[in-house]
Amino acid sequence: MSLVNEKPAKTIDVKGQVCPYPLIETRNALKALKRNEILEVVTDSEPSVVETIPMLCEKKKYPCEHVEETGFWRVYIKKTDD
């Protein structure tokens, strides 16, 4: 099942913030989630979507998907550890 179709436990809006702030906010929000919960990150920072957030997810082995909308992206991350 796609992460996009799952209901997020938390949504953070980091539009208007530039690196590294979207990554910092994402990392902090993930810390507060329980195992298997979904975080939705709303951002207009393309480097965050294509580089920094996916690199964090790869390092942590968290599934990550994004959807592009008009002028911003929604990034969905599943926390798979405690």
**37 Rama class: left (phi>0) / alpha (psi -120 to 50) / beta:** beta
Which residue in the list 19, 33, 42, 56 is annotated as catalytic? Answer: 19
Catalytic residue check, 19: yes
Instruction: Check: CB of residue 29 under 8 Å from CB of residue 55.
Output: no
φ, ψ dihedrals at 31, nearest 5°: -60, -30
User: Annotated active-site positions, please?
Assistant: 19
